[in-house]
Amino acid sequence: MRYSSCVCSSRRQFLQQLALGGALLGTWKMAEASRAALVLPRERPIVVCLDPGHGGHDPGAVGLRGTREKDVVLDVGLILAQHLRRTPGVQVLMTRQSDQYVPLLSRMHLGTQRRADLFISIHADAFPDPDVRGSTVWALSAKGASNAAARWLAKSQNSADPILSKWSTGRQDPLLNEVLINMTQTAAMNAAAAAADVMIRGLAGVEGLHNAAVQHANFVVLRAPDVPSMLVETAFISNPQEEQRLRDPEFRQTLARSMHDAIVAHFVKAPPTDSCWSAANHVLGHHETLKEVARRYGLSVQALRLANNLAQGEEPTGTHLRVPIMGA
């Protein structure tokens, strides 16, 4: 089949990214002992907003054994939040942390107000055919995006708007505002596509995929024009085997870990430019060794090599190095 070889090669890339993310995290943890020497950046942490779907009076889909979507996705979200909070330089927001109903627009607005770098809505799927199975990742459709931008513009023609205020134009210029919102939205959708792509390849190794490519829809929670957003359908609660797995705390741990690894792999590859994960550039000086550079930034030599795809040995003077910086 056409996409199977493509999935294999992209899975290889994904595993390489994961290896990079995991190795960097491991070495960063090892470097914690020498944090006194770490160059602490002033940049902000990466903000991830998690949105466990449904809640309160809205159970979401219910499996044959009575498993409620709202309960399993809350647990996955809480475990994922724990993993992310242990990751240096990451701040976690949650639209809900208990069995409460939160309106869809409020969920979306939390991501915008707190300027999240990534918004992930977590769900479990359902379908009348009990054999249907696998994970799906959704991003906003182009039509949904243009509707969302138009709606946003209609409401926010002033500099107090959370998106427009970022640009500090202070101007009541509808045309300029439209350009700024469209630019912001294009950047957010590109980032969402990149993150969703890493997420789908990560989930492929856990539950298998229902759809091998990112799907697009006009879901309310995905409509923030300035927040890269995705919706993850973890598995089909309407499939008896997948319902059984969703009931298993071990499986929910595995799901959350794989989502965490995908988020880390995405941000290692494409950190927001003003975040503490953004890489500094370092040009190797005369006779400067990788060990010296690594020590200067509080990293191990291995982390430096991984971030730059370097083999063993020293690099020549003038080599441009990508130096991941963390520590907020």
Q: How far is the CB of 123 from Zn ion (least distance, A)?
A: 3
Q: Rounded to an integer, what distance in angstroms lies between the CA atom of residue 234 and that of residue 122? A: 7
Q: How far is the CB of 39 from Zn ion (least distance, A)?
A: 43
Q: Rounded to an integer, what distance in angstroms lies between the CA atom of residue 218 and that of residue 228? A: 14
123-142: contacts with Zn ion (CB under 5 A): 123
Q: How far is the CB of 258 from Zn ion (least distance, A)?
A: 19
Q: Which is nearer to Zn ion, 83 or 123 (CB)?
A: 123
| Angle, CA 97 vertex, CA 91 and CA 101 arms, to 5° | 125
Specify the stretch interacting with Zn ion by CB under 5 A; choose among 21-29, 54-62, 90-98, 285-293: 54-62
Specify the stretch interacting with Zn ion by CB under 5 A; choose among 17-25, 53-61, 181-189, 319-327: 53-61
Per-residue binding string, Zn ion, 248-267, x by CB under 5 A, is --------------------
Q: Which is nearer to Zn ion, 60 or 327 (CB)?
A: 60
Q: Rounded to an integer, what distance in angstroms lies between the CA atom of residue 165 and that of residue 106? A: 20
Residue least distant from Zn ion (Cβ): 123
Q: How far is the CB of 70 from Zn ion (least distance, A)?
A: 8
Tally the C-alpha atoms within 13 A of residue 31's C-alpha that lie toward its C-beta: 27
| Residue in 189, 67, 41, 194 with CA at minimum distance from that of residue 125 | 67
Specify the stretch interacting with Zn ion by CB under 5 A; choose among 9-17, 57-65, 271-279, 287-295: 57-65
Specify the stretch interacting with Zn ion by CB under 5 A; choose among 32-40, 55-63, 150-158, 187-195: 55-63
Does the footprint of Zn ion cover residue 77 (CB under 5 A)?
no
Q: Which residues contact 136 (CB under 8 A, 6 or more apart)?
A: 125, 209, 210, 211, 215, 232, 233
Q: How far is the CB of 60 from Zn ion (least distance, A)?
A: 4
Q: Which is nearer to Zn ion, 53 or 134 (CB)?
A: 53
**Which tokens go with 303?**
């982390």
Q: Which is nearer to Zn ion, 209 or 265 (CB)?
A: 209
**Which tokens go with 151?**
């709606």
Q: How far is the CB of 61 from Zn ion (least distance, A)?
A: 6
Q: Rounded to an integer, what distance in angstroms lies between the CA atom of residue 219 and that of residue 55? A: 17
Amino acid at 108: M
Specify the stretch interacting with Zn ion by CB under 5 A; choose among 13-21, 121-129, 234-242, 283-291: 121-129
Q: How far is the CB of 103 from Zn ion (least distance, A)?
A: 15
Q: How far is the CB of 260 from Zn ion (least distance, A)?
A: 21
Q: Rounded to an integer, what distance in angstroms lies between the CA atom of residue 31 and that of residue 298? A: 6
Q: How is residue 215 annotated by DSSP?
A: E
Please, which residues bridge with residue 136 across strands?
233
In angstroms and rounded to an integer, the radius of gyration of the C-alpha atoms of the chain is 21
Q: Which is nearer to Zn ion, 59 or 130 (CB)?
A: 59
Does the footprint of Zn ion cover residue 68 (CB under 5 A)?
no
Does the footprint of Zn ion cover residue 53 (CB under 5 A)?
yes
Q: Which is nearer to Zn ion, 53 or 77 (CB)?
A: 53
**Cβ 112 vs Cβ 162: under 8 Å:** yes
Q: Which uninterrupted H or E stretch holds 46?
A: strand 46-52
- Using CB under 5 A as the binding criterion, the count of chain residues that bind Zn ion stands at 3
| Residue in 26, 83, 86, 95 with CA at minimum distance from that of residue 300 | 26
Binding residues for Zn ion, per CB under 5 A?
A: 53, 60, 123
